[in-house]
Amino acid sequence: MAVSGFEGFEKRLELHFSGDDDPLVLHMGLRLLDFQSIQQVLDAVQCNVISAIGNQYFDAYVLSE
């Protein structure tokens, strides 16, 4: 009988985007996504944000699972 446990090996996706010359897009771009939109994306993946941190360069979220 196959024994199943929690799958540790991650799937990793990296996406790069390009925008127009709008300084706001260039400055913040994807970081302008509101939390509701991020949660909608995570709903599709089936996980949630459990902790977050950010600085002037990027935002980092720890997710459930």
* CA dihedral of residues 59, 65, 16, 22 (deg, nearest 10): -40
Site for another protein, residues 7 to 26, rule: CB under 8 A: 7-20, 22, 25-26
- In the complex, least distance from residue 54 CB atom to another protein, rounded to whole angstroms: 8
Question: H/E element holding 36?
Answer: helix 35-45
* Per-residue interface string for the shown chain with another protein, residues 30-49, x marking contact by CB under 8 A: xxxx---xx-xxx-xxxx-x
Residue 13's Cβ-side half-sphere holds a number of Cα atoms within 13 Å equal to 2
Q: Which residues bind another protein (CB under 8 A)?
A: 2-20, 22, 25-33, 37-38, 40-42, 44-47, 49-55, 57-65
